[in-house]
Structure 1
């Protein structure tokens, strides 16, 4: 299915958008006329006519949703919201996590350029370089401490080793001379091999 739209489809969409815009304009005009008419009347009469309580006397736990209706005048809706914020301190607590709390127009009011660490095509280069420098310094420190520990261990090992004197093999006394000489028993004579002899008697005539 092709994603292209026909001329008549675009035309129908444009006509529908115009009709929706006209409808919203008529509704906004009606609301404005209604608000102007209610603004000339007393707030107590308006609240009584709409069946709403006095927003100034409402407390925590009351239903404030009725003031969010479109027919309620804007100033009465704001009074109800202010009472709601005061009734529950948690709702009025600003935690600073809302992105719309900052004033992004401050940069437009300055006469001098804003200094930032951001560089086009490189990003936050200075910040990254500083982090790399700290990482390299920590690595060098750890390496120096490790080398110092190795040297200390080698010194301790050398101090614990006994002194050993190396003697030349020619001057060394053979082990057999150190041991006590024990008497040797005479070796037994080797047995003489025996030979078989045969005698033949001559037969008498």
Structure 2
């Protein structure tokens, strides 16, 4: 278990934290002043002042660590990193694990004269209506065949309900039981020894 710290160790830690916070505040103030001075200058002037090459002219193998200094404005650092990512094949070629890394729009696949039966809000209504009309229109050959050979339908007896007529039409064997699926088999292991 940890011992509870005494008063003097807590006081010492508090004083150290205060000095670190003051030091960090001074550094942030200096960086803000430098950034304010650099905001008025153009990128070419800043690069000449800091003795850095143009980030757009970087070649493979060039060192970009100079652009990571605190004195370099964020916009120039971003330009250098973008150029680095384009030049380095390890960083430029993603390994394919990015879910949305590819263009999933269908702009490249659309045919210029593409026609579809789909209608917004109605779906494939025209296509379905055409199929229904084709089914409803009897063929001439089938109507002639139907006229020649009338179909004899077995009508149920009028005093029986329809369910009883269906039950009467199908012969039921009293000895037949409904087929049950086989019982699940269990694996049995035997060990010798």
TM-score bucket (shorter structure): 0.3 to 0.5
TM-score, L = length of structure 2? 0.47
Looking at CA atoms only, which structure, 1 or 2, has the larger radius of gyration? 1
TM-score, L = length of structure 1? 0.45
